[in-house]
Amino acid sequence: MILTVTLNTALDLTYQVGALVPHTSHRVTDVAERPGGKGLNVARVLAALGHETVVTGFAGGTTGDVLRRLLAPLPVRDALVPVGGPTRRTVAVVDASTGDTTQLNEPGPVVTPAEWAAFLTAYDTLVHQARAVALCGSLPPGIRVGTYAELIRRARAAGVPVLLDTSGEALRRGIAARPDLVKPNADELAHLTGSREPLRAALDARRRGARAVAASLGPEGLLAVTPDGTWRAALPAPVRGNPTGAGDSAVAGLLSGLVEGLDWPERLRRAAALSAATVPAPAAGEFDDRTYRELLDRITVTELAPAA
């Protein structure tokens, strides 16, 4: 099975409006409510691809109860650890006239030392059953910034490959623990390295400790710098819609390719196709299967450099 970790799970609300205009009232044309957080989105895509997936992290309060109720019918196993504080909500407002999305994210519950100890016990058990682990998203209050580094070390000690998808100081600390793969977006990569040139920044990120770096570049596709070589996956054309969750679908593509033993160009092709196919989907954690199938044959993967 594949384990995804979402320490800061969320109840995701998506509002569709005709046009988002500041300082005015809006009539919402559609509302979607989903169990969310990056790792839960990744798990839903992995399950849709046919992979056995387990989700862990924290859930608490009324919103946590709603999240778990929505998660129950989905083909993923719930191993979330209860906390006393309420799970956060995120609100995405989609402007139908432009396709742009405005995101509002709450901070999440304060996690106590006892709750963290309970999570570590569950994590250690699950890691030893996993073929791969994804550590995803922000850290809730009460969790120290070096937490992902600790979880990476535990996974590596168990001989399980680990992917890290976070940002800011959590990414900086985590990458030093030598994860097998990090998946930043262009802004996160620039913030980590100080460089806006993707290839230079990805090379720098590898020097900081990551075995491989796969950077999502939005409509420009994906860039991977790995021990086996460097590749760029390019879309044939931009896809219109809501990009929320596109990076999470890319993570699912990379992880599924890893456990299936695909080479890097095919992992990138799948990740780029899934990411783009999420844009026209109703919400994060889903993808449009027809778009995905069409794009698989149309994405160009170019080798930029052979293995060093």
User: How far separated are the first and last CA of the chain, in Å rounded?
Assistant: 32
How far apart are alpha carbons 179 and 175 in whole angstroms? 6
Is-catalytic flag, 248? yes
Taking 3-state DSSP, the helix, strand and coil percentages for the chain, each rounded to the nearest 5, stand at 35, 25, 35
Say if strands 53-60 and 28-36 run parallel, antiparallel, or are unpaired: unpaired
| HSE, side-chain direction, 13 A CA sphere, residue 101 | 21
* Residues whose CB is less than 8 angstroms from the CB of residue 266 and which lie 6 or more positions away in sequence, other chains included: 257
Q: Quick check: helix, strand or coil at residue 7?
A: coil
Cα-based distances in Å from 214 to 61, 84, 183, 261: 35, 36, 5, 17
Which entry of 248, 263, 289, 297 is annotated as an active-site residue? 248
Beta bridge partners of 88: 10
For residues 250 and 204, give the distance between their C-alpha atoms in angstroms, rounded to a whole number. Answer: 21
Residues annotated catalytic, as ranges: 248
